[in-house]
Amino acid sequence: MCTVSIVPTDSGFRVLHSRDELRSRSTEIEPTWRTLPSGLRACWPIDPDAGGTWVGVREDGLMLGILNLNLRDEELDPGRPPATISRGSVIPELMNGSTLEDCVERLGSMRLRGMNPFRLMMAVQGDDGARVAVARFDAMELAFPLEVTSLVDPICLASSGLGDHLVQGRLPVFDELVRPEPSAENQAAFHQHQWPEHPELSVLMSRAEARTSSVTTIEVEAGETPTVLYDPIPLNDPLGDPVGAAMLQ
């Protein structure tokens, strides 16, 4: 359950990743920088329950963001293996890739069967500008709805544990708020968007068993170390988590 958006900037790109999570999950650990086996540094938050992560960036401009793929029952292969491997392990593993193309190749070689379905956004800022790719794994097969290409237009992906088909209404809001003028302010406003009558389907999501727990902003600019801003959403906050606040009354 997440909403991920990426927009090109004058010399790079900006990503916002809203993490929607069950209220029963432990409090996530904010992003920290760490040194990879290659000697490069990377930054990502941690899910303490599974030990993995949902978004990260490397100092050379490689960004990876994962979100659940919640398919309808008829779209799932009944022969899929049980889920025994956390999707949160994908990003730390791919952070060892040398290039975006290498990450794509490594993803294809990873043991994915045994994971629940997911989508993965991958982007990098290099000498030839920003490039992006999107992968899709349905618990059986890996595909690339968007193969490696130049990042020209804003992109948004949305998911929900209620069913991804129920939250695609977030995309027209993205088109209205962000696409005409993809500024930092407009992108942030999109990730704070909430329908008062449907908080359970909103970008800033709130329902009885789950809520948006944080928004992570990653800015990548050519020749600079990426910046990471982690913004936790207070539990039971009347604005950010109105359902949680109402349950306390």
Kindly report, residue by residue over 145-164, the tens digit of the pLDDT: 999 999 999 999 999 999 99
User: What integer pLDDT is reported at residue 249 of this predicted model?
Assistant: 83
Q: What percent of the chain has pLDDT over 70?
A: 100
pLDDT confidence band for 72 (50 / 70 / 90): very high
Average pLDDT for 213-226: 97
Task: Tokens 């010399």: give the residue.
Answer: 11
Q: Is the pTM of this model over 0.85?
A: yes
Strands (E), the chain: 2-9, 12-22, 29-35, 41-46, 55-58, 62-68, 118-126, 129-137, 142-150, 155-158, 210-221, 227-232
Cα–Cα distance for residue pair 19/3, rounded to 1 Å = 7
Cα–Cα distance for residue pair 17/4, rounded to 1 Å = 4
Domain-by-domain residue ranges, the chain? 2-162+214-233
Average pLDDT for 8-15: 97
2-162+214-233 carries CATH number 3.60.60.10? yes
* pLDDT above 80 (res 1): no
Dump pLDDT digits (tens) for 100-137.
999 999 999 999 999 999 999 999 999 889 999 999 99
* pLDDT above 80 (res 226): yes
3-state helix, strand, coil in the chain (%, to 5): 20, 40, 40
Q: What percent of the chain has pLDDT over 90?
A: 98
* pLDDT above 80 (res 7): yes
Single-letter amino acid code for the residue at 20:
D
Show the tokens assigned to 241: 């988590």
